Amino acid sequence: MLIKLFVLFCFFAVMIGVGIACRRSARDVAGFVLGGRGVGSWLTAFAYGTSYFSAVIFVGYAGQFGWKYGVASTWIGLGNAFFGSLMAWSVLGRRTRILTQHLDSATMPDFFGRRFDSPALRTAASVIVFIFLIPYTASLYNGLSRLFGMAFGIDYAWCVIGMAVLTAVYVLLGGYLATAINDFIQGIIMLFGIVAVIAAVLNANGGGMQALSALSQLPSEQSPPISGVFVSFFGPEPLELLGVVLLTSFGTWGLPQMVGKFYAIRDEGSIAKGTVISTAFAFVVAGGCYFLGGFGRLYAGGIDHTPLGGPVYDSIIPAMLSGLPEILLGIVVILVLSASMSTLSSLVLTSGSTMVLDIFAPALQRAGRTLNEHAHVFLIRVFVVFFIAVSAAIAIVQAKSAVTFIAQLMGISWGALAGAFLAPFLYGLYWKRATAASVMVNFAVGVGIMCLCMGCRFAGVPFINAFFSSPINAGVLAMAAGLVVVPAVSFLTKTPGEGLVSSMFACYDRRVVVRATNALPDAGEAPSA
């Protein structure tokens, strides 16, 4: 216990120390929210990866999908690495950085307002962020309760409060830069931690081949039961597995806290390096988490069950870890803390900046009042505290009372945000013809699909059919619908002003000087003396 407490104390001290060291960078809005748009490749890549993979992934999703699909759940992590990291950086990274700087945009709602010349879009996007990012933030605490209870015997509420206070301290002190540096440190812990945990769990089961052999002998829950399905290539339910891969991989393209990482990256070289680093990080962390979860059925005797006899998914990974050596268990606790705090800091910084820059400040301007830089930063800090406090309160209420509505709202948050924002953001970066009306319609369609899904689940009736009643598959439907809705409505509505849009897209055509290692010279270009 002393060793575990010492490790925990060192971790907390480092996080706060980084916040203190970065406080000078957080004196204005650009510094506090974007790190002055000067964050390098390693910090940005790790900030992206650690915001992507939280304790929800490690404890909740890895246990749930590993139980359902066996080792085939590893495809989810591989999809996250290829589609959610490599393709996201390649398709969105450079153009996001260029256009958001040209528009002087610091948040996703601000981007929609400036890109489509529509204050209404800015307000609508801000409201969506406010409604759906808070429950998503609250869900980050869920993975901590069982692990902390197992390792320290601490009540869940105190775990939530401690994590919330620590995160608030370093975010308030150092803003985005402190968050990015701590994300890097936390990411290193996650990389080494997941590798160590996988090795320990496989070793406890006689090695990798022995564990796979034991898993292959477990029958499926299908009728008639099939042996070996949990070590098969695509698992027992390939179509359901595909839905999880699509939502968790492409969903990040529309999440404001993920896309915001591209706003702050420093230069071209940082984008190229960050793409590789982020992909490798996702491959190890996400691939490792889901691969580990695939062996969850080997621990069926040690997990909790619902009153109906089904498995409590959040208990699967803790059951796998309960027999680890004390020092390794301490590392796992730090791993889960790192995964949770990195995502939490990103979410509350996104929420706080959106509330001030996109709702509060514009409302004051319409009233004939303006805020200076110091006032902006102070209010963002206030709302960061507000969002952390509200999310912590929701998490505690949910855990203590099991309020069904809150749990369902957490489940649809990712789908609602991705369904509302993915298509408009992607078309906004690449297509001049996209209109403000199409974006507003897509906001309604994306959020509407997920709210109808939640309402049907709450009422106990299917949404469309049994397949789309799952919030995951409904989220995929919302994202796919947006890719059709935006161009369809754009062709039916008034074309945006050619001069305005062309001036925006001119930033992509601006000539820049780069080294020959980054771009080949023209065929007729004379060599320099």
49-106 per-position pLDDT tens digit = 888 887 778 777 888 898 899 999 999 999 999 999 999 999 998 899 899 888 888 8
pLDDT at residue 149 is higher than 70 = no
Phi and psi, residue 305, nearest 5°: -130, 150
pLDDT at residue 404 is higher than 60 = no
Position 303 in a domain: yes
Q: Determine the residue type at 219.
A: P
User: Could you tell me which residue, 466 or 222, shows the higher pLDDT?
Assistant: 466
When mean pLDDT is compared across 65-69, 70-74, 138-142, 384-388, the lowest value belongs to: 138-142
The mean per-residue pLDDT over the stretch 203-218 comes to 89
Position 275 in a domain: yes
Yes or no: say if 354 and 129 are a contact pair by the CB < 8 Å rule. Answer: yes
pLDDT confidence tier of residue 521, bands split at 50, 70 and 90: low
Query: Which one-letter DSSP state was computed for residue 207?
Result: S
pLDDT at residue 359 is higher than 90 = no
pTM: 0.86
Q: What is the pLDDT of residue 427?
A: 96
The residue whose two tokens read 């990274």 is: 93
Q: What is the pLDDT of residue 495?
A: 82
pLDDT at residue 233 is higher than 90 = no
Position 498 in a domain: no
pLDDT at residue 503 is higher than 80 = yes
Yes or no: say if 172 and 19 are a contact pair by the CB < 8 Å rule. Answer: yes
Position 152 in a domain: yes
Domain range enclosing 83? 2-91+143-399
Q: What is the pLDDT of residue 405?
A: 54
Position 107 in a domain: no
CA pseudo-torsion sign 244, 249, 255, 257:
positive
Q: What is the pLDDT of residue 522?
A: 58
- Give per-residue burial for 395-422: e unless 16+ CB within 10 Å, then b: bbebbeeeeeebebbbbbbbbbbbbbbb
Alpha-carbon distance 347 to 107, whole Å?
12
The mean per-residue pLDDT over the stretch 25-44 comes to 79
pLDDT confidence tier of residue 28, bands split at 50, 70 and 90: confident
Q: What is the pLDDT of residue 440?
A: 96
* Beta bridge mates, 188: none
pLDDT at residue 529 is higher than 50 = no
Q: What is the mean pLDDT of the chain?
A: 84
Position 268 in a domain: yes
pLDDT at residue 469 is higher than 70 = yes
The first and second tokens of residue 110, run together, are 């601000």
241-283 pLDDT, tens per residue? 999 999 999 999 999 888 888 888 877 778 888 899 999 999 9
Alpha-carbon distance 38 to 264, whole Å?
6
Q: What is the pLDDT of residue 241?
A: 92
Position 488 in a domain: no
Position 461 in a domain: no
DSSP per position, 81-142: HIIIIIIHIIIIIHHHHHHHHHTT--SHHHHHHHHTT-HHHHHHHHHHHHHHHHHHHHHTTT
pLDDT at residue 348 is higher than 90 = no
Alpha-carbon distance 474 to 174, whole Å?
38
When mean pLDDT is compared across 51-60, 163-172, 398-407, 445-454, the lowest value belongs to: 398-407
Nearby residues of 384 by Cβ (< 8 Å), 6 or more positions away? 168, 171, 172, 348, 349, 351, 352
Q: What is the pLDDT of residue 524?
A: 54
Q: Determine the residue type at 43.
A: L
The mean per-residue pLDDT over the stretch 329-349 comes to 80
Q: What percent of the chain has pLDDT over 70?
A: 92
User: Could you tell me which residue, 45 or 480, shows the higher pLDDT?
Assistant: 480
The structural domain count of the chain equals 1
pLDDT at residue 528 is higher than 60 = no
pLDDT confidence tier of residue 138, bands split at 50, 70 and 90: confident
pLDDT at residue 525 is higher than 60 = no
The residue whose two tokens read 């812990």 is: 189
When mean pLDDT is compared across 10-14, 226-230, 459-463, 516-520, the lowest value belongs to: 516-520
pLDDT at residue 157 is higher than 60 = yes
For residue 224, cis peptide bond before it (omega within 30 degrees of 0): yes
